Amino acid sequence: MAWSVSPDTADGWRSLAGVPLLSQVGDDRLRALWDASAARRYPAGEALRNVGDPATHLLLLLRGRVAATATTRSGRVVRFGAWDGPRALDKVAVIDGRGHTATLTALTPCTVRSLPRDRFLALVDDAPSVRGHVLRVLAAHARHRQQQFATTATLPAEARLASWLLDQAAGRPGPVALPGTQQVVADLLGVTRVTINRVLSRLRRDGLIEIEHGTVSILAPELLALRAEGRGRSTAAAGKGG
């Protein structure tokens, strides 16, 4: 269980200057941020936040080491990385407000301050140095997504389509709307329209999806995740190629 930390721990508000995001922020503003944030400590092995939790606060890791992970629908744990304090954690989630993008777990005892999201967004608006840092983070995030897509594009057509469907469905209720014709999907994934038609038919025949009026409903996300990893395909389907 996490426990409170005295406000005068270590160097107090001056310790915030060690966070790269806040390194150029003036003393008066650092004091205000310190007063607006709450201090907590986490023992090794405890989760600071779980994937999908509302990102209502920016987590400022002052001391310790934290890992970011997520579990796929097939149960595989994906580790995105591990970071040492001082640093701000999962800024993208706090900016877009759609929930934490990973489970953040303390690898060592950690000292953390939680800054309310509205105070962080106000800081982004008012402080050019913070705004520039955030823009660099978002650019790196976009580059990572592009690299991730490039990696996916090397997979077989069925794995590409399954991965794309799961990505489109993530965090959104209801069926996935196809972006126009099957040719548009084919162009997105770098395959032919005939291939997309064949893969969609196979996934529907295997009971993984349902197609209706330009939308795709995912009926078996765990099995579709296996297809996205290039596994779990039926013997009959495997023998047909494609």
Residue extents of the structural domains in the chain: 3-150, 155-238
Question: Sheet holding 103-106: strands in order across?
Answer: 47-49, 103-106, 65-71, 77-84
| pTM exceeds 0.75 for this model | no
CA distance 162 to 185: 12
Q: What is the pLDDT of residues 130-181, one digit of tens each?
A: 888 778 777 776 676 666 666 556 788 999 899 889 888 876 678 888 877 7
Taking the domain 155-238, which CATH number applies?
Answer: 1.10.10.10
User: Which SS3 state, helix, strand or coil, does residue 133 take?
Assistant: helix
Roughly how many angstroms between the first and final C-alpha of the chain, as a whole number?
A: 51
Give 235's pLDDT tier (boundaries 50, 70, 90). Answer: very low
Contact assessment for residue 158 and residue 226, using Cβ atoms and an 8 Å cutoff:
no
Give 237's pLDDT tier (boundaries 50, 70, 90). Answer: very low
Helix-, strand-, coil-residue percentages of the chain, each rounded to 5: 45, 25, 35
Q: What is the pLDDT of residues 30-41, one digit of tens each?
A: 999 999 999 999
- Taking alpha carbons only, the member of 214, 138, 212 closest to residue 179 is 214
Equal fold, 3-150 vs 155-238: no
Chain center to CA of 75: 16
Is domain 3-150 classified as CATH 3.40.50.300? Answer: no
pLDDT score for 145: 62
Contact assessment for residue 210 and residue 169, using Cβ atoms and an 8 Å cutoff:
no
Q: Following CA atoms 158, 159, 164, 169 in sequence, which dihedral angle do they give, to the nearest 10 degrees?
A: 100
